Structure 1
Amino acid sequence: MLSTLLRGARWLTTITPSTTRRAALATAGLAVIGGSVAGPAIALGATTQDVGFTAPTAKELSVDYQAQPNFFYCGPAATRIALTASGHAPSQDELAARLRTTVNGTDSAEDTTRVLNSLGGSDFYRTRSIPEETATPTEMDRLQADVTRAVAREHPVVVNVIGAAVDSRGVAHSYEGGHYLTVVGYEDEGRTVKIADPADVNGDSSYWMSTINLANWAASRGYSG
């Protein structure tokens, strides 16, 4: 769906890069020292609950999947999938009203963040922006950290994407007008994520994708995590 450019920043950590990410870092001219990107590892905006918290290497959440009923309800559908992980199952129509969804879609991840926090009864979610056309290595690592932290705490991540991306099977998924989807699991310390896609194109409602590909898919948009 159509989206405005997002603004927002929250939590940053340094995670051991995979071989693919090492190559991306090298291409960007960043050194990798001892398995980490050279530079300060700072938890920006981390809460006291994060101190000493260690996420498992893999985790998958149980959600109630429901496909979007029309071309512009991906925002409500993705938000609903995320909320069901904590036992909330509002209708997509109710969520569309709360998200201010129109035939042009849901404006931005700022809206999904607002509604996830409101109906979830917490302030866990923050909006993350990936403002440029391509994600930086730091933004890739930040998405990996945000996904592992959120999913480990039973909170799926809602991502606003645009364009095309290839999943772990080599299958391309394309949404030239923009789209919302939900990350409901991860493996390999968050280097690969499980996506629940409300579009359900050709019955393909669930697939795995590298964090690198997902970060680039969300470039110029962002996510609630």
Structure 2
Amino acid sequence: MTNQHSPALARRGVLALGLTAGVGLVGARSAAAATSVSYSYQRQQTQSWCSAASSRIALTAKGRTPTQASLAASLGLSGGSGLQDPLAIARVLSDRLGIAGNARRYRFRQPAAGTLKATLHQHVRTSIDAGYPVVINMNQVNGDHYSAGHYIAIVGYRAGDYKIADPDEPARNGVWRDEDSIVLWNKLNRYTAFGG
């Protein structure tokens, strides 16, 4: 494109200004618009407890620190198998927080195909703004593929990015990943978020 006012050229101009000022693109993206919750990270204790570990991350944001074993029992994890009922996360989180009967509680979400990006964006903002992490089912995180699915927590957001806590890999705790990758890696359109 030869248009001198193209978005790509404008971004390059902003980047050049940021580099000159010693800010850079990373500094510009991580500026004031980021919103995160405080939480306690713990790596999943067995290969099949990612749902329990991610649920624990979500609960620690509200000061609850259950064991992964107790959450695994509540989620119905047994015999080395992973989560069989994706609705269980919303039930267990709401029960453990004492909000099960409230209009605003954790809810399982599975938006229609093609609507995940917009719906997830809306629910992440609502949930994180209220202080509740989102637990999301992934088929991939970075280069790691999970044929049976894998649960992580979303603990923050900023323009175009989500802050994740992956219980399978401590190096992916508190790191930012772009929204498009999170949507691409969530093949089943499943997540659990706080809200009405």
TM over 0.5, shorter chain: yes
AA paired with 1:62? Answer: S
Max radius of gyration: which structure? 2
3-state DSSP class of the match of 2:38? coil
Query: Which residue in 2 is equivalent to 1:195?
Result: 164
3-state DSSP class of the match of 2:191? strand
Query: Which residue in 2 is equivalent to 1:28?
Result: none
Query: Which residue in 2 is equivalent to 1:150?
Result: 127
Alpha-carbon distance between aligned partners in 1 of 2:98 and 2:153, rounded to the nearest angstrom:
19
Q: Does 1:94 align with 2:65?
A: no
How far does residue 145 in structure 1 lie from its aligned partner after superposition?
0.7
Quick one: structure 1 residues 106 and 221, their matched pair in 2 at CA, closer, same or farther if it must change by over 3 Å? farther
3-state DSSP class of the match of 1:67? coil
How far does residue 208 in structure 1 lie from its aligned partner after superposition?
1.5
Output the aligned Cα RMSD: 1.9
Give the conservation status (yes or no) of the 8 Å contact 2:59–2:93.
yes
Q: Does 1:127 align with 2:127?
A: no
Q: Does 1:85 align with 2:61?
A: yes
AA paired with 1:155? Answer: Y
Query: Which residue in 2 is equivalent to 1:33?
Result: none
Deviations 1:74-102 (A, max 9, x none): 11100000000000111001001100012
AA paired with 1:210? Answer: D
Query: Which residue in 2 is equivalent to 1:205?
Result: 173
Give the conservation status (yes or no) of the 8 Å contact 1:130–1:218.
no
Q: What does 1:1-225 align with in structure 2 at a 5 Å threshold?
A: 57-102=33-78, 103-122=80-99, 123=102, 124-130=105-111, 135-136=113-114, 138-162=115-139, 164-166=140-142, 172-188=143-159, 191-200=160-169, 203-225=171-193
How far does residue 177 in structure 1 lie from its aligned partner after superposition?
2.3
Alpha-carbon distance between aligned partners in 1 of 2:33 and 2:174, rounded to the nearest angstrom:
20
Long gaps (5+) in structure 2: 1-6, 8-31
Quick one: structure 1 residues 82 and 97, their matched pair in 2 at CA, closer, same or farther if it must change by over 3 Å? same
| TM-score between both structures, scaled by the size of structure 1 | 0.65
AA paired with 2:109? Answer: R
Choose 213-222 or 74-83, whichever is displaced more. Answer: 213-222
Long gaps (5+) in structure 1: 1-18, 20-55, 167-171
Alpha-carbon distance between aligned partners in 2 of 1:110 and 1:216, rounded to the nearest angstrom:
22
Choose 96-105 or 77-86, whichever is displaced more. Answer: 96-105
AA paired with 2:123? Answer: D
3-state DSSP class of the match of 2:169? strand
Give the conservation status (yes or no) of the 8 Å contact 2:164–2:172.
no
